[in-house]
A and B are shown apart, each in its own frame.
Chain A
Amino acid sequence: MTTPAIRFDHISKTYASSKATWRDRFSGVTKPGFLAVSDVSLEIEQGEFFGLLGPNGAGKTSLISILAGLCLATEGQAFVYGYNVLSDFRLARRALGVVPQELVYDPFFTVRETLRIQSGYFGLNHNDNWIDEILSNLGLTDKADTNMRSLSGGMKRRVLVAQALVHRPPVIVLDEPTAGVDVDLRRSLWEFISRLNKAGHTILLTTHYLEEAEALCGRIAMLKSGKIIALDTTQALLARVGGAGLEEAFVHIMKDTPQLAKGTPA
């Protein structure tokens, strides 16, 4: 059996209460935090196109942040290609490319500088051929020497994707990559990501556009209040509602699950 591309092992995450005052800290009083992820275990195999769906605040981004090492799990362990994201962080991060949800950029640099720097962070200092190829595939070649500040929102989004791919990671995580993106870019982005998937990259996608998930993902997990409430192949999920579409299945599953106490004190 091959190593799973991504493995979450009993992951829980509680965010500390932001209202904790200095007096609380000294007196040892702990205010209940916010439970964002609750005992999630999940394995994603190599080469899968996997969808992580759920309403806002369900814990999708927290789970991805734990995988990327941006956020520390309160309990449990996470692995990328079998590498623990904490104890083997160098290899785990080398294997992972993340497209963040927020449209962030460094206003000091041009597109090419941004990608060269990102590549250098991974110790890849002679990576121009690959950078050129990503630029051309994302339609960014003529913007290569433009400062990040002057790019439109859609172009900035493409650079975010390019940054995540600069070290050719086998596992790619896309956190709502098409939020606020026009139809053209959305199409070209999915065409590109599908090609990467066919070449063997494992894709983990979160999105609120369920028709996208339906068309692309082989398997889907649905999260609600930090728990996995459904985990199956897209076909099987569709079959539950007689093939009426993923949106229908989503609404059904969300409704059928009793409302878990959101933000339950941990």
Chain B
Amino acid sequence: MSTSTIDTPVVITVSDVGISSGFRTLFYKELLRFWKVSFQTIAAPVITAALYLVVFAQVLQDRINVYGEIPYTAFLIPGLMMMSMLQNAFSNPSSSLIQSRVTGNLVFVLLTPISHREFFSAYVFAAVVRGIVVGSAVWLISFFFLSLTIEHIGWVLTFAVLATSIMGVLGLIAGLYCEKFDQLSAFQNFLIMPATFLSGVFYSINSLPPFWQAVSHWNPIFYTIDGFRYGFFGLSDTSPWKSLVVVSFVLIVLTWLALRLLASGYKLRT
């Protein structure tokens, strides 16, 4: 026992100890957390999206005409991909944070030299990864129904990353704000769900009455889906550049808010 490191005098000065970043580990841990329960975090949303495809595509295929020659199933697929990405990107940080706060194990992160910016980045990047993994899986499943080609891959990727980032940041804010699981599900059911359903996942907003069209233009989620769809078809309800500006602006505002909350120790450091 006497030869063990424990009995060797401890390095007392820490000034020369380089503090390398703990960001990588926190990011990895957040990935591992959803990967370990991938049946629930990846397979379940993909199956839900597949069910939507079966039901809506089969029922509405010949009844709805959206962008001229584009079949309704093709129109629906990017919408469903984006909806799954949005919901899962939101779930990842929000459920992780609320679980860690309720069980108290968030203390293990708070005790370390990880800064609030690293904390923010780790949770949001993990949300982006989960969103894109689920989105890609929905895309693969969609080949059973129809092979959808991509017109502009750059727009598809840009909107995938921006939209999942927005939801990651929003999930982080919700995870900080909510203290109980029921508050979080209220956030999800009364804000995230309506905003995604009323954003043109299942329809083009041009088919709505003028009032609801105007309302949709105030919904930032609409721009993520519309811009994403432009990447697939080269057609959309509004210009992809306008969508890019709106979506980037929303992301910047939410990022600023989340960083402010984290820096102040809001509900983390009392």
Q: Which residues of A contact B36 (CB under 8 A)?
A: 108
B11 within 8 A of A: yes
B112 within 8 A of A: yes
Pick the contact of B112 from A72, A91, A108, A122 — CB < 8 Å? A122
- Inter-subunit contact B114/A121 (CB<8 Å): yes
A146 within 8 A of B: no
- Inter-subunit contact B10/A90 (CB<8 Å): no
Q: Which residues of B contact A195 (CB under 8 A)?
A: 6-7
Of the candidates A70, A129, A168, the one having the most CB atoms from chain B within 10 angstroms of its own CB is: A70
Identity of the chain A residue whose Cβ is nearest the Cβ of B26 in the assembled complex = A121
- Inter-subunit contact B113/A170 (CB<8 Å): no
Interface string of B1-39 (1 = CB under 8 A from A): 000111111111111011111101110110011001100
Task: Given A133-B4, A170-B14, A200-B12, check contact A121 B108 (CB 8 Å).
Answer: yes
- In the complex, what's the smallest C-beta–C-beta distance from A107 to chain B, in angstroms? 7
Pick the contact of B29 from A68, A117, A125 — CB < 8 Å? A117
| Whole-angstrom CA separation of A195 from B110 in the bound complex | 27
Pick the contact of B105 from A89, A106, A133 — CB < 8 Å? A106
Q: Which residues of B contact A123 (CB under 8 A)?
A: 18-22, 113
- Inter-subunit contact B269/A71 (CB<8 Å): yes
Task: Given A70-B111, A72-B269, check contact A107 B103 (CB 8 Å).
Answer: yes
| Whole-angstrom CA separation of A91 from B109 in the bound complex | 15
B100 within 8 A of A: yes
Pick the contact of B7 from A102, A105, A199 — CB < 8 Å? A199
Interface string of B162-185 (1 = CB under 8 A from A): 000000000000000000000000
Which residues of A, 159-182, contact B by the 8 Å Cβ criterion?
A: 163, 168, 170
| Whole-angstrom CA separation of A108 from B32 in the bound complex | 9
Q: Chain B contact residues: over half helix, strand or loop, or mixed?
A: loop
Q: Please tell me the size bucket of the interface on A.
A: 35 or more
Identity of the chain A residue whose Cβ is nearest the Cβ of B25 in the assembled complex = A120
A118 within 8 A of B: yes
Interface string of A96-108 (1 = CB under 8 A from B): 1010101011111
B65 within 8 A of A: no
Identity of the chain A residue whose Cβ is nearest the Cβ of B110 in the assembled complex = A70
Which residues of A, 199-232, contact B by the 8 Å Cβ criterion?
A: 199-201
A143 within 8 A of B: no
- Inter-subunit contact A104/B265 (CB<8 Å): no
Q: Which residues of A contact B15 (CB under 8 A)?
A: 91
Interface string of A119-154 (1 = CB under 8 A from B): 111111100011001100100000000000000000
Q: Which residues of B contact A133 (CB under 8 A)?
A: 4-6
Q: Can you name 14 A-B pairs with beta carbons within 8 Å?
A: A81-B13, A91-B14, A91-B113, A93-B111, A93-B112, A93-B113, A121-B108, A121-B109, A123-B18, A163-B108, A168-B10, A170-B10, A170-B11, A201-B10
Binding site for B on A (CB under 8 A): 15, 46, 65, 68-72, 81, 83, 89-91, 93-96, 98, 100, 102, 104-109, 113, 117-125, 129-130, 133-134, 137, 163, 168, 170, 192, 195-196, 198-201
